[in-house]
């Protein structure tokens, strides 16, 4: 039976809604939910931002310190870090260059450009990455001041809230000045004042448009784009900055064209007034320069713990000057040398008399009280740990007569001569020693037996990055008559004495931020076989090495073309000491003086033995102290 539907039947409330109305309700509900969630996030990050002290923005930037392996302070890493350049010292084109490059709406926004943030978030969500940033100058300053590391959405949100809070409490000029005084400019250089001196030898107020555009351009990749590292890259970023300044009408077309075609003129090295507190700080600075990617924006007020040994470093510096003074003045013979000469007092006494009676070149300059370093005899010394699990650690370094000249001679080149013979012999010694007969006492003869292609191919595997003699000058290749950096020569010889393993000569161990946040920790990798083990072991007992059972291994060679003297003294599971002694200008008359050769041969050897013995003594004393502490 069919029953008709009652038209007066009461309907439920939800039947009044159509399908379209339901969707509208859903959209409204979703919008309210998102709005509440956004409000909650806003409240959460605002609360977190309130926990930070805004006064830190206007405070000093902090000085980075270098410590030895026992956390004893050694030196400031950059004396320039304490310099602060105020806003009124900034030329207009410098401000315009950084604003155009980094934040074109800096003087209008309140710390965050929301359209840029939204675009950045959308791009990153679509690409599932964090490639797109949206940082204003204020946000970049926030990262520097509060050590906000890591590319995460959480950091970005906190950074944005802090930037807005800073903008409410700090004026734009202070923000901009703090930003320029904190950022990294490459070459271990922090702050605009240090950068102006390092690259252009000027104060900030004297920077021109070309220099300002260059500095503004390189800050995104300071280690790659600074003009010392790559002039090509520096010219590229200068152009990018100038193009943007022209688009924003900060400069005219005429100014643009003149600045674009103008070269980047670097200050002569002798006119750069960058202060270095020690050779150790110079070395650590270079290592830090290669680690910037690990630090993020935490670049000021660092605490750098090194492998250095403070006692060895101090002894090394004093011993080097004593040795150089003894060459210049026979009455300055160091008593410390007697301990390492011979156990027989009579023999040692005769060696002393022999050294003191050697003729000195009449033109040999003696270091005076005025600290005039020009034309002086120089030396650089390196102490490297050879103990198990510590191989390759730099324990001490000296790069010349005085750090005040700003020159680390370990970065300079020499002509290695017969000191490269061991490398040539390694090429000849095949595994098992079945072809040992091909090694002759003369490196040239050995090279001729091997042939140019074999030797050149072997040297190419060492990746020295140097220009080797061509086939027409193959004898120069075998005799070591080419330029090689002093530090590279030390690395090569060190690898031979460590069974061919390519240990890095490393100084920096750990790096901490000013807020005691760990930024970097060195993790020693398994050393690769730089030279075949069998070859290195066989060659380490051949000339020009001098090997005596139970005594340190010695190499003492006069370098060709008046490049000075090279000495190496090392022992297994102890320390390796490398010494170069000579003149910066190897073409000078004094460098070619015939009286100089025997003097340098003795002084370099005695210095290396002295430093080697003292370094081992210091390390043994430390080991005894550690053992006693464990027992107690």
Residues 140 and 256 in one domain: yes
- Above 60 in pLDDT, residue 272? no
Q: Is residue 425 part of a domain?
A: no
Residue bearing tokens 């300002």: 212
Look at residue 55 in the predicted model and tell me its pLDDT: 74
Q: Which tokens go with 106?
A: 């800096």
Tens digits of residue pLDDT in 12-28: 545 545 556 667 777 78
Please give the structure tokens belonging to residue 451. 């042939």
The predicted model gives 282-290 an average pLDDT of: 84
Q: Give counts: helices (H), strands (E), the chain.
A: 23, 12
Mean pLDDT score, 105-133: 66
Q: Where are the beta strands (DSSP E) in 256-342?
A: 303-306
57/403 Cα distance (integer angstroms):
34
Number of domains in the chain: 3
> Is 294 contained in some domain?
yes
Burial of 296 (C-beta count, 10 Å sphere; 0-12/13-18/19+): middle
Query: Residue 330: is it exposed, middle or buried by C-beta count within 10 angstroms (0-12/13-18/19+)?
Result: middle
d(CA 160, CA 221): 23
Q: Which of 212, 232, 266 is the last residue of a domain?
A: 266
Residue 172 shares a structural domain with residue 257: yes
> Up-side HSE of residue 312: CA atoms within 13 Å toward CB?
34
Are 122 and 178 found together in one domain? Answer: yes
Q: Kindly state the helix (H) or strand (E) to which residue 557 belongs, with its residue range.
A: strand 553-558
Q: Taking CA 150 as the corner, what is the angle to CA 77 and CA 112, rounded to the nearest 5 degrees?
A: 100
Distance, in Å, from the CA atom of 283 to the CA atom of 77, rounded to the nearest integer, reads 10
Q: What's phi and psi for 218, nearest 5 deg?
A: -85, -10
Indicate if 154 and 191 belong to the same structural domain: yes
pTM of the model: 0.74
Is residue 260 located within the same domain as residue 240?
yes
Q: Is the pLDDT of residue 121 over 60?
A: no
Confidence band for 273, pLDDT divided at 50, 70 and 90: very low
Q: Assess whether 89 and 197 both reside in one domain.
A: yes
Residue 78: strand, helix, or coil: coil
Give the domain extent around 31.
19-49
What does the alpha-carbon distance between residue 188 and residue 282 come to, in Å, rounded to a whole number? 9
Number of CB atoms found within 10 A of residue 287's CB: 20
**pLDDT the model gives residue 378:** 95
CB 49 within 8 A of CB 165: yes
Q: What is the mean pLDDT of residues 147-169?
A: 77
In the predicted structure, residue 323 carries a pLDDT above the cut 70: yes
User: Residue 23 falls within a domain, yes or no?
Assistant: yes
Mean pLDDT of the 166-193 span: 87
111 and 255 together in one domain? yes
Give the count of alpha carbons within 13 A of 487, CB side only. 16
Q: Is 232 exposed, middle or buried, given 0-12, 13-18 or 19+ CB atoms closer than 10 A?
A: exposed
Q: Is residue 558 part of a domain?
A: no
Task: Encode pLDDT of 410-432 as tens digits.
Answer: 999 999 999 999 999 988 885 54
Residue 228: pLDDT above 50?
yes
Is residue 95 exposed (0-12), middle (13-18) or buried (19+ Cβ within 10 Å)? buried
Question: What is the number of alpha carbons within 13 Å of residue 67 lying toward its C-beta?
Answer: 15
Average confidence (pLDDT) over 196-208: 92
In the prediction, which pLDDT does 559 show?
96
The domain spanning residue 171 has which CATH number? 1.10.3810.10
Residue 29 has pLDDT above 90, yes or no: no
Q: What count of residues does the chain have?
A: 632
Instruction: Say if residue 261 is in the same domain as residue 319.
Output: no
Cis peptide before 344 (omega within 30 of 0): no
Alpha-carbon distances, residue 481 vs 291, 411, 416, 444, 600 (angstroms): 34, 18, 7, 11, 20
Indicate if 147 and 260 belong to the same structural domain: yes
Q: What is the pLDDT of residues 435-490, one digit of tens each?
A: 555 777 788 999 998 899 999 999 998 888 889 999 999 999 999 999 999 999 99
Q: What is the mean pLDDT of residues 173-192?
A: 86
Question: What is the DSSP code (8-state) at residue 380?
Answer: E
Question: For residue 74, is it within any domain?
Answer: no
Percent of the chain with pLDDT over 90: 42
Residue 438: inside a domain, yes or no?
no
Task: Please check whether residues 283 and 167 belong to one and the same domain.
Answer: no
Tokens 């060492």 correspond to what residue? 462
287 and 229 in a common domain: no
DSSP single-letter state for residue 290 = T
Buried b / exposed e over 506-543, threshold 16 CB at 10 Å, is bbbbebbbbeeeebbebeeeebeebbbebbbbbbbebb
Rounded to the nearest angstrom, the gap between the alpha carbon of residue 257 and the centroid of all alpha carbons in its chain is: 36
pLDDT of 531 > 90? The answer is: no
Mean of per-residue pLDDT scores for the chain: 84
Whether 613 shows a pLDDT value over 80: the answer reads yes
pLDDT for res 131: 47
Domain boundary (235, 266, 297) is at 266
**To 5 degrees, how large is the angle CA 165–CA 170–CA 175?**
100
105 assigned to some structural domain = yes
User: Could you give the count of Cα atoms lying within 13 Å of 431 in the half-sphere of its Cβ?
Assistant: 4
Could you report the per-residue pLDDT of 56-112, keeping only the tens digit for each? 777 666 667 888 898 888 877 764 445 678 898 999 999 999 999 999 999 988 888
Long-range contacts of 267-271 (CB under 8 A, 24+ apart): 267/197, 267/198, 267/199, 267/200, 267/201, 267/202, 268/201, 269/406, 269/407, 271/201
Binned at pLDDT 50, 70 and 90, residue 151 comes out as low
Within a domain: 147:
yes
DSSP for residue 269: G
Alpha carbons 62 and 58: distance in angstroms, whole number: 12
Task: Say if residue 286 is in the same domain as residue 245.
Answer: no
In the predicted structure, residue 119 carries a pLDDT above the cut 70? no
* Nearest in space to 396 (alpha carbons), one of 336, 306, 494: 306
Which pLDDT belongs to residue 476?
Answer: 95
What is the pLDDT at residue 143? 82
Q: Where are the alpha helices (DSSP H) in 540-595?
A: none
**Cα dist. 496→144, 368, 374, 474 in Å?**
44, 40, 36, 23
């Amino acid at each position: 039976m069919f029953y008709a539907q009652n038209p007066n039947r009461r309907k439920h409330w939800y039947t009044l809604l159509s399908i379209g109305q339901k969707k509208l309700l859903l959209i409204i509900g979703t919008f309210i939910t998102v709005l509440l969630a956004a409000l909650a996030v806003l409240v959460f990050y605002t609360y977190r931002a309130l926990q930070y002290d805004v006064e830190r923005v206007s405070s000093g930037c902090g000085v980075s310190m270098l410590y030895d392996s026992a956390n004893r302070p050694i030196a400031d890493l950059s004396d320039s870090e304490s310099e602060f350049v105020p806003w009124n010292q900034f030329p207009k084109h410098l401000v315009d260059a950084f604003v155009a490059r980094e934040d074109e709406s800096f003087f209008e926004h309140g710390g965050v450009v929301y359209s840029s943030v939204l675009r950045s978030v959308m791009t990153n969500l679509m690409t599932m990455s964090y490639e797109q940033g949206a940082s204003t100058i204020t946000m970049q300053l926030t990262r520097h001041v509060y050590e906000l590391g890591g590319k995460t959405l959480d950091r970005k949100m906190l950074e944005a809230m802090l930037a807005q809070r800073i903008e409410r409490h700090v004026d734009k000029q202070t923000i901009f000045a703090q930003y320029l005084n904190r950022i990294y400019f490459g070459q271990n250089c922090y702050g605009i004042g240090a950068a102006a001196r390092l690259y252009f030898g000027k104060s900030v107020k004297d920077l021109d448009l070309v220099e300002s555009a260059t500095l503004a351009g390189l800050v995104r990749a300071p280690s790659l784009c600074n003009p010392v590292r790559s002039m090509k890259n520096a010219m590229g970023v200068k152009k990018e900055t100038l193009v943007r300044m022209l688009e924003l009408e900060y400069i005219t077309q005429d100014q643009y064209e003149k600045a674009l075609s103008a070269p980047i003129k670097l200050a002569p090295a002798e006119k750069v007034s960058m202060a270095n507190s020690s050779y150790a700080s110079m070395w650590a600075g270079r290592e830090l320069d290669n680690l910037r990617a690990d630090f993020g924006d935490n670049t000021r007020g660092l605490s750098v713990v090194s492998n250095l040994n403070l006692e060895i470093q101090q002894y090394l510096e004093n011993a080097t000057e004593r040795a150089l003074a003894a060459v210049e003045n026979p009455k300055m013979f160091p008593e410390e040398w007697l301990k390492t000469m011979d156990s027989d007092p009579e023999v040692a006494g005769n060696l002393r008399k022999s050294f003191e009676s050697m003729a000195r070149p009449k033109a040999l300059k003696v270091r005076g009280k005025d600290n005039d370093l020009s034309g002086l005899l120089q030396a650089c010394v390196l102490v490297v740990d050879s103990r198990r699990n510590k191989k390759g650690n730099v324990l001490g370094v000296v790069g010349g007569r005085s750090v005040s000249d700003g020159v680390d001679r370990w970065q300079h080149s020499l002509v290695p001569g017969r000191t490269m013979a061991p490398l040539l012999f390694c090429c000849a010694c095949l595994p098992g020693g079945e072809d040992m007969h091909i090694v002759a006492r003369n490196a040239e003869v050995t090279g001729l037996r091997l042939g140019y292609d074999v030797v050149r191919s072997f040297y190419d595997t060492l990746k020295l990055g140097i220009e080797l003699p061509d086939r027409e000058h193959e004898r120069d290749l075998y005799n070591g008559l080419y330029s090689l950096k002093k530090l590279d020569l030390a690395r090569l010889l060190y690898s031979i004495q460590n069974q061919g393993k390519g240990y890095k000569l490393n100084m920096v161990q750990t790096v901490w931020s000013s807020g005691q946040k760990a930024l970097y920790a060195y993790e020693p990798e398994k050393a690769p076989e730089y030279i075949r083990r069998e070859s290195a072991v066989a060659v380490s007992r051949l000339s020009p090495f001098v090997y005596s059972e139970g005594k340190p291994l010695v190499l003492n060679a006069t370098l060709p073309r008046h490049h000075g003297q090279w000495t190496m003294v090392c022992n297994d599971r102890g320390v390796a000491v490398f010494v170069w002694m000579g003149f910066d200008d190897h073409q000078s008359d004094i460098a070619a003086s015939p009286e100089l050769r025997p003097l340098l041969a003795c002084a370099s050897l005695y210095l290396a033995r002295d430093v080697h013995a003292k370094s081992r003594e210091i390390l043994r004393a430390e080991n005894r102290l550690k053992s006693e502490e464990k027992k107690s």
